[in-house]
């Protein structure tokens, strides 16, 4: 049952709140001691992942769909999608790039790959396109390890390019998702479009031609929260992005995410983030050395 499937930060680590610009890069076998090549069904509720298999092979599964593969192979899995794999730990390895949903919101404008559904493709190591993807992800790993000024911006551009390369390599449209997973994906897509307009849960239900019960179940199983909570989390994420990456005043940010009153926005933010928006911004800008 989906309700029993764990949600991790990165594999084996409990969930934690992510900043909008969060990236994480490591190899699969960096966590070999945790899984020995057998990664059980799990999901990530706040980030998507690229997994590029450099060597070896085995079976990768997304939701209930297994796919046997040998390197090179690559997947992109959005947040909330169940996945896992079984590989030989002696011969297999992959680069895993984890990208916070907040970063993906900007990246989606600069990539040709649909980020609302999972993708998995296998390839030919002699194909120049696969070599280009490998080169891009090598640079991503080097940039992440280097930690030079502007790393987040550079990673966003490189990941957008890697995702576009994945879309070029895809030979066909990915197989359809199970109905409940597809409903959750469409819900999140609609929330991205309409959260500023203060749509009610009923409006999302009507737009998706479903029932309140089915929509609530899809949201709970895929994202671990009710629809209203999911909408509020999206508004909070947008607020954090605007606080962190712009100098707009609180009144403008409140209006941008659907609040007519800055004081109400401040109460909303403090309740969910644990501090006032001005304090949150000051601490993050100070720690990043910006301003």
Do residue 139 and residue 252 come from a single domain?
no
Q: How many domains does the chain have?
A: 2
For 6, 112, 157, 169, the CA distances from 130, given in Å and listed in that order, are 32, 17, 19, 8
pLDDT in tens, 107-151: 998 998 989 888 888 886 677 889 999 999 999 999 999 989 999
Residues 220 and 151 in one domain: no
Residue 77 pLDDT > 90: yes
Of 120, 147, 169, the domain-final residue: 169
pLDDT exceeds cutoff 60 at 178? no
Claim to verify: residue 187 and residue 137 sit in the same structural domain: no
Q: What is the mean pLDDT of residues 12-19?
A: 79
Question: Does residue 189 sit in the same domain as residue 131?
Answer: no
- The reply to whether 28 falls in a domain is yes
> Which uninterrupted H or E stretch holds 235?
helix 227-245
> Chain centroid to CA 102: how far?
8
Q: What is the per-residue DSSP string for 117-182?
A: S-EEEE--TT-HHHHHHHHHHHHHHHHHHH--TTHHHHHHHHHHHHHHHHHHH--SPPPPPPHHHH
**pLDDT beyond 50 at 290:** no
Q: Which residue has the higher pLDDT, 56 or 18?
A: 56
Q: What is the mean pLDDT of residues 270-277?
A: 93
Q: Kind and range of the H or E element at 67?
A: strand 65-70
pLDDT at 174 over 70: no
Residue 252: predicted pLDDT: 94
Contact 242, 253 (CB under 8 A): yes
137 with 190, same domain: the answer is no
Residue 78 is inside which H or E element, if any? none
CATH at 183: 1.10.10.60
**Domain limits for position 222:** 179-288
* Residue 241: band (very low, low, confident or very high) from pLDDT cuts 50, 70, 90: confident
pLDDT of amino acid 291: 42
Does the pLDDT value for residue 264 go beyond 80?
Answer: yes
Residue 276 lies in a domain: yes
Task: Report whether 53 contacts 29 (CB < 8 A).
Answer: no
Does some domain include residue 186? yes
- The CATH number for 28's domain is 2.60.120.280
Q: Does residue 185 share a domain with residue 132?
A: no
Query: Does the residue 65 lie in any domain?
Result: yes
Q: Is 155 in the same domain as 192? A: no
Where a domain ends, among 169, 188, 211? 169
Q: What is the pLDDT of residue 251?
A: 94
First-to-last alpha carbon distance for the chain, in angstroms, is 48
* Same domain, yes or no: 9 and 142: yes
On whether residue 183 sits in a domain, the answer given is: yes
151, 223: one domain: no
Q: Which of 169, 239, 180, 172 is nearest to 214 (CA)?
A: 180
Q: What is the pTM of this model?
A: 0.65
Q: Strand, helix or coil at 9?
A: coil
Residue 175: pLDDT over 70: no
- The number of beta carbons lying within 10 Å of the beta carbon of residue 210 is 18
Phi-psi label, residue 266: left if phi above 0, alpha if psi -120 to 50, beta otherwise: alpha
Same domain, 228 and 132: no
State mean pLDDT over 60-67. Answer: 81
The answer to which of 97-106, 170-179, 198-207, 228-237 has the lowest mean pLDDT is: 170-179
Domain annotation covers residue 29: yes
- Identify whether residues 164 and 206 lie together within a single domain: no
Provide mean pLDDT across the span 94-106.
94
- Among residues 116, 139, 169, which one ends one of the domains? 169
How confident is the prediction for the chain on average, in pLDDT? Answer: 87
Residue 289 has pLDDT above 60, yes or no: no
163 and 206 in a single domain? The answer is: no
* Residue 174 belongs to some domain of the structure: no
Say what the pLDDT of residue 231 is: 95
């Amino acid at each position: 049952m989906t309700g029993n499937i764990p949600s991790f930060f990165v594999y084996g680590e409990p969930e934690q709140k992510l900043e909008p610009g969060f990236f994480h890069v490591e190899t699969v076998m960096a966590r070999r001691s945790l899984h020995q090549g057998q990664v059980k069904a799990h999901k990530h509720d706040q980030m998507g992942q690229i997994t590029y298999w450099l060597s070896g092979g085995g079976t990768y599964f997304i939701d209930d769909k297994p796919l046997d593969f040998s390197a090179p192979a690559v997947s992109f899995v959005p947040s909330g999608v169940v996945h896992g794999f079984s590989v030989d730990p002696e011969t297999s390895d992959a680069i895993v790039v984890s990208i916070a949903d907040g970063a993906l919101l900007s990246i989606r404008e600069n990539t040709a790959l649909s980020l609302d559904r999972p993708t998995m493709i296998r390839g030919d190591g002699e194909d120049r396109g696969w070599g280009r993807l490998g080169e891009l992800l090598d640079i991503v790993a080097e940039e992440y390890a280097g930690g030079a000024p502007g790393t987040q911006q550079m990673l966003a551009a490189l990941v957008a390019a890697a995702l576009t390369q994945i879309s070029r390599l895809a030979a066909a449209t990915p197989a359809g998702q199970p109905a409940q997973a597809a409903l959750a994906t469409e819900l999140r897509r609609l929330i991205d479009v309409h959260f500023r307009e203060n749509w009610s849960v009923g409006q999302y239900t009507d737009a998706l031609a479903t029932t309140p019960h089915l929509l609530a179940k899809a949201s709970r199983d895929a994202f671990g929260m009710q629809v209203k909570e999911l909408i509020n989390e999206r508004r909070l994420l947008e607020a954090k992005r605007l606080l962190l990456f712009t100098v707009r005043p609180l009144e403008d940010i409140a209006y941008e995410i659907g609040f007519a009153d800055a004081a109400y926005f401040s109460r909303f933010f403090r309740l969910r983030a644990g501090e006032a928006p001005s304090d949150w911004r000051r601490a993050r800008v100070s720690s990043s050395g910006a301003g």
